[in-house]
């Protein structure tokens, strides 16, 4: 039995989570879709960053900050359905 997932499997799963978040957001549940989208995107960024040979901090920090801001924005939406 496998002990952990590979980075490719994590990347594929996070892309599926992002697509699910987009679909949920487009169907009307904006807050839930944004939260799912931000979590999936941050997992994708982390998995992709660990696979890179040349690691620059800006390639990690900028997308993670955008995901965090999307998460905070989703929580602060008034009357989101």
Q: Domain ranges in the chain?
A: 7-72
42 in Cβ contact with 81 (< 8 Å): no
Encoded tokens for 49: 């960053």
- Rounded Cα distance, 31 and 19, in Å: 15
- Rounded Cα distance, 70 and 81, in Å: 16
Summarize pLDDT for 10-55 with one digit per residue, the tens: 888 898 999 998 999 889 888 888 899 999 999 999 888 888 888 8
pLDDT score recorded for residue 80: 53
With a threshold of 0.85, does the pTM exceed it?
no
């Amino acid at each position: 039995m496998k002990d952990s997932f590979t980075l490719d499997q994590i990347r594929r799963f996070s892309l599926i989570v992002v697509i699910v978040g987009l679909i949920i957001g487009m169907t009307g549940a904006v807050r839930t879709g944004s939260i799912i989208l931000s979590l999936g995107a941050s997992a994708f960024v982390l998995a992709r960053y660990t696979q890179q040979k040349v690691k620059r901090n800006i390639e990690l920090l900028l997308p993670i900050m955008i995901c965090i801001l999307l998460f905070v924005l989703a929580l602060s939406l008034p009357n989101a359905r």
